[in-house]
Amino acid sequence: MIGLSDRVIISSNGKSWFVRPSDGKLGTDLGLVDLEQIVGKEPGDVICTHSGRELSIRLPRSTDFFEYAKRSTAPMLPRDIGLVIGLTGMNKHDHVLDAGTGSGISAIFFAGVAAHVTSYERRAESAEQARLTVSDAGIQNLEIISGDILKETRMYDVVHLDLGLTKEHVIHAHSVLKPGGYLACYTPFFEQMALAFDSAKNLFVECSSYECIMRDMDRGERGTRPSTRVCHSGYITIMRK
């Protein structure tokens, strides 16, 4: 049952709005919507605009938060977050350590998968903004700590680092990983990828660095071709203890 301050998405024919019942009235091209009528509804239920047009209600998924959440920095793309999940085999039994939180998008995806996520962010303001996004999302198993990840001493199944990487970060991650656990480092630049790899080589049992070139295939009337838009995002280094 949806509460007054829960985030929901209402949509009709491919158009969507990211709202809270407490937001009051929403003007759309389908007519005015009284959002308070959402309170007490279930996902899948339907509400109407003043002019009688139907809108269906659903709960947002991680991919919606990627689309709608406030961003303090450029977040990792869902494709790269997915690669981290797939290559580490992240699952619902895992305790995951993450830094830096940034806009919180990666941590929100991980919290949708893992038992618990602890995410560190050094900039207090970014941490506070990410906490709002997380609370907005109704996510319970994600703790955002404003501080330095190097202070963390609890043990984890997966550590994910997307920050200004140093060798110390890799050594620290190793020290808080359970045997068989994974460290995943996302690094936009080659040199940081090399640093991750070199720091891990004699410490971890397995270490591989990857580049993923992902291309949207444009399929139009003239034919099909790979999009000429962005295809590089970053390098991912996966290390196993």
Using CB under 8 A, which residues numbered 32 to 71 contact a second copy? 43-44, 56, 58-59, 61-64, 66
Binding track, positions 111-150, relative to a second copy; x by CB under 8 A: -xx-------------------------------------
State in angstroms the smallest separation of the CB of 24 from a second copy: 23
State in angstroms the smallest separation of the CB of 128 from a second copy: 24
Whole-number Å distance between alpha carbons of 162 and 77: 12
Q: Over the Cα atoms of the chain, what is R_g?
A: 20
Applying CB under 8 A, which part among 32-40, 126-134, 144-152, 222-230 lies near a second copy? 222-230
Indicate which single residue of 89, 132, 140, 147 sits in contact with a second copy (rule: CB under 8 A).
Answer: 89
Instruction: For residue 184, list its beta bridge partners.
Output: 160, 238
Number of residues that bind a second copy (CB under 8 A): 71
Whole-number Å distance between alpha carbons of 120 and 51: 47
State in angstroms the smallest separation of the CB of 118 from a second copy: 17
Applying CB under 8 A, which part among 17-25, 29-37, 87-95, 117-125 lies near a second copy? 87-95
Nearer CB in complex with a second copy: 144/239: 239
Cis peptide before 112 (omega within 30 of 0): no
Whole-number Å distance between alpha carbons of 186 and 234: 7
Are the C-beta atoms of 133 and 108 separated by less than 8 Å? yes
State in angstroms the smallest separation of the CB of 241 from a second copy: 10
Nearer CB in complex with a second copy: 124/155: 155
Whole-number Å distance between alpha carbons of 194 and 198: 6
- Say which residues have a Cβ less than 8 Å from residue 34's Cβ, sequence separation at least 6: 25, 50
What does each C-alpha distance from 4 to 1, 8, 19, 41, 176 come to in angstroms? Answer: 10, 10, 11, 10, 40
Indicate which single residue of 70, 175, 188, 239 sits in contact with a second copy (rule: CB under 8 A).
Answer: 188
**DSSP at 187:** E
State in angstroms the smallest separation of the CB of 79 from a second copy: 6
Which parts of 154-183 interact with a second copy (CB under 8 A)? 178-180
- Residue reference for tokens 């080589």: 201
Query: Is residue 86 a contact residue for a second copy (CB under 8 A)?
Result: yes
